[in-house]
């Protein structure tokens, strides 16, 4: 590992992760458990360390999207149940599920039969979670067909039903009409199962937004993703729980120079100096996760002052206007994300017409993740490339 200062990096405040988990857990009524969703490398925060922090704070389940994500956590010594939320169908995938004690989502009868055929050859018995499509139209068996689906899986000796679940399409909307329709469909499925003498060990449907909207549907598990990273799924949910953003993106100045009136900055000459200026080149760009669409639209922090980013953001670098900042030098730290209302994933997402989830997941792994507690003491550096 290089011993020099990093050109750019992501800081993750693990104490904020733990705070958020505790705040969300406080909204639950026992015995509802909390599943921390740590897919996509914990939304760019670092899956292993975030998982460990979340478990210490009270999460009892983890959710991932892929088998390699689950294997990574198992190899790190994490022993809590890990649910693979994405589709898995291949023979090697099924064998890996069994070997690493992961718990797959089963979304249709054909998939269930494939699992049964593969596992019957190994005499393995795998706990599974059955996905019911109540309106998302993504993974899952149609809710009208759920009873026959669950009955089929129940009679496959190599599969053990751990839960029946669904997923909301509009839980973060103020208008809860469609969410209520999905809830009714899910409740109808559960009632019909019970009428057939089938009582799933667990049922769950809530993501972060839904758990904040309606305590009546917390059921046995809530699946919290964005909330544990300190962001709100929608503005109207901000007063319902105290969350702390956990991620900060920083980079160092690599050059300081003066330019004269009329000088253009970066590709395409999208910025022309209106006067003589002092500008700084910063060693971070769109290949690191700073969207090119934010060019000339954001303000960043350097030496305690807010300054404008100017010119087109390039693959590895961008420029900032430091004309009115005193004593700026090569190596000074610039904060791009984190610290105030103009440096948040929500703010960037609004500028780009996207969602904060995409912003968080966009920071590439050539940026080392530096884990801190209370943003003071550095604990470890992971994923350095």
Residue ranges of the annotated binding site for substrate are 138, 315
3-state secondary structure of 107: coil
Q: How far apart are CA 353 and CA 359, in angstroms?
A: 11
Alpha helices by DSSP H, listed for the chain, are: 14-25, 39-44, 47-56, 67-75, 91-99, 109-122, 146-154, 177-195, 208-213, 345-352, 356-361
What is the Cα–Cα distance from 79 to 51, expressed in whole angstroms? 11
Whole-angstrom distance, CA of residue 226 vs CA of residue 157: 36
Strands 141-142 and 126-133: parallel
| Total residue length of the chain | 385
Q: What single DSSP character describes residue 368?
A: -
* Pair of tokens at residue 274: 């209106």
User: Is residue 286 flagged as an active site residue?
Assistant: no
Distance CA 368, CA 385 (A): 7
Least Cα distance to 112 among 76, 70, 154, 81 occurs for 154
- Residue 184's alpha-carbon distances to 144, 204, 218, in angstroms, are 12, 13, 14
Residues forming beta bridges with residue 141, ordered by sequence position? 132
Binding site residues, as ranges? Answer: 138, 315
| Cα 249 to Cα 290: distance, rounded to the nearest angstrom | 9
Catalytic position from the list 25, 39, 131, 250: 39
Helices and strands of the chain, counted as H and E runs: 11, 20
Active site (annotated) includes residue 39: yes
- Is 319 within 8 Å of 282 (Cβ atoms)? yes
Nearest to 231 by CA among 311, 383, 344: 344
Catalytic residue among 110, 257, 267, 379: 267
Active site residues: 39, 267
């Amino acid at each position: 590992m290089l011993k020099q200062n990093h050109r750019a990096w992501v800081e993750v405040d693990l104490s904020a992760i733990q705070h958020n988990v505790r705040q969300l857990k406080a909204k639950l009524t026992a015995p509802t458990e909390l599943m921390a969703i740590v897919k996509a490398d914990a939304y760019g925060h670092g899956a292993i360390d975030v998982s460990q922090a979340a478990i210490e704070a009270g999460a009892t389940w983890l959710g991932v999207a892929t088998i390699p994500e689950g294997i990574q956590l198992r190899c790190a010594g994490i022993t809590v149940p890990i649910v693979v939320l994405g589709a898995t169908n291949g023979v090697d995938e099924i064998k890996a599920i069994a070997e690493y004690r992961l718990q797959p989502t089963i979304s249709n009868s054909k998939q269930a039969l494939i699992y049964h055929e593969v596992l019957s050859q190994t005499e393995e018995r795998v706990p599974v979670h059955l996905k019911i499509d109540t309106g998302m139209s993504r993974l899952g068996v149609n809710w009208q067909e759920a009873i026959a689906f669950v009955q089929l899986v129940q009679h496959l000796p190599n599969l053990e039903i751990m839960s029946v679940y669904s997923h909301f399409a509009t839980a973060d909307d103020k208008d809860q009409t469609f969410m209520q329709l999905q809830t009714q469909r899910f409740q109808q499925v559960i009632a019909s199962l019970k009428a057939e003498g089938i009582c799933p060990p667990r049922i769950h449907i809530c993501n972060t937004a839904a758990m904040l909207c309606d305590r009546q549907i917390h059921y046995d598990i809530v699946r919290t993703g964005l909330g544990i990273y300190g962001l709100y799924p929608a503005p109207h949910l901000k007063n319902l729980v105290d969350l702390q953003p956990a991620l900060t993106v920083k980079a160092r100045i690599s050059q300081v120079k003066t330019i004269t009136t009329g000088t253009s900055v970066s590709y395409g000459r999208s910025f022309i100096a209106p006067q003589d200026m002092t500008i700084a080149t910063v060693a971070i760009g769109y290949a690191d996760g700073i969207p090119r669409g934010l060019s000339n639209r954001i303000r960043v922090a350097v030496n305690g002052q807010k300054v404008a980013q100017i010119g087109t953001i390039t693959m590895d670098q961008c420029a900032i206007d430091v004309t009115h900042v005193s004593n700026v030098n090569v190596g000074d730290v610039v904060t791009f994300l984190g610290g105030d209302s103009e440096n948040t994933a929500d703010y960037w997402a609004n500028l780009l017409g996207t969602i904060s989830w995409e912003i968080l997941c966009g920071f590439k792994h050539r940026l080392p993740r530096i884990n801190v507690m209370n943003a003071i003491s550095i604990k470890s550096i992971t994923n350095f490339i």
